[in-house]
Amino acid sequence: MQARSLFGKELLAHLRLSLPPVLPFAGVTFYPRESMRYKSKIDAEELIGLAMNELPVEQLKCFLLSVMAGLRRSEIDMLPWAAFRWDDRLIRIEDTTDFEAKSQTSSGDVPVDPELIALFRGWRAAAKGEYVIESSGQPSIGKKYHAYRCESTFKTLLAWLRDHGVKTNKPLHELRKEFGAILCTKHGIYVASRMLRHADVTITAAHYADTKERVTVGMGGLLTMPGNVTPMPPGNGALATSTKRARK
């Protein structure tokens, strides 16, 4: 289907070539678009509790930055302590000498809970280097391949996540999706899109939006029970209707 797009109207307008009357791939139809909507299978609160008790510090840092701040693996890998704005309670993702954001819109501020800020501030006091995640690895910027500076830390964390039910191909990215799903439920898709630093809200809607709670319109209190309806006892899940007979 990517080959057919080469002959789209937008591109043809810029070409000065002699083309056949019937363009290549003219009769080829697209496959139906599959849903990429995230379906939550994670109990984030339970997983955070387990992580706090079981994970070593460096793995715990990676875990929390993903599930509670929605950071990508590359952003976690190269995150400097200077990215923390302690007083403003946020993490600033921006290009540095060793890091380039995924896109222009990927740069931005991510507000985080004050408890998370306090935790990382404590770790900062004992830090040995400029990066949040301690590692002996070196940045791979400028090389023809990409290698994570904290690869060994990530590898161990991914194994822990799979052992605790996060059995996707990209368990760490699954935490970012869960972060987005929780925001969608609590604050709406526009807030989630901004916090995930997406270029457009449609990306959030297509990939990350997931209502984790049952939501209704909330106007049931405006309804009154008709006189010919007998409510069933709680738990029966239905209303029984009975028509009153007029007294003779």
Is residue 40 a contact partner of residue 181, using CB atoms and an 8 Å limit? yes
Please tell me whether the overall predicted TM-score, pTM, comes out greater than 0.85 for this model.
Answer: no
Alpha-carbon distance of 248 to 54, in angstroms, equals 75
Mean pLDDT over 56-71 rounds to 96
Which runs of consecutive H residues, i.e. helices, occur in 106-188? 114-125, 151-163, 171-187
Q: pLDDT tens for residues 199-239?
A: 888 878 777 555 556 656 677 677 666 777 666 666 554 44
Is residue 157 a contact partner of residue 62, using CB atoms and an 8 Å limit? yes
Q: Where do the structural domains in the chain lie, given as residue ranges? A: 44-207
The third-level CATH classification (topology) of the domain covering 44-207 is: hpI Integrase; Chain A (1.10.443)
Q: pLDDT tens for residues 181-199?
A: 888 888 888 888 888 888 8
Strand ranges (DSSP E) for the chain? Answer: 84-85, 90-93, 108-111, 229-230, 240-241
Mean pLDDT over 12-22 rounds to 69
Q: pLDDT tens for residues 144-192?
A: 456 899 999 999 999 999 999 999 999 999 999 999 888 888 888 888 8
Alpha-carbon distance of 172 to 6, in angstroms, equals 35
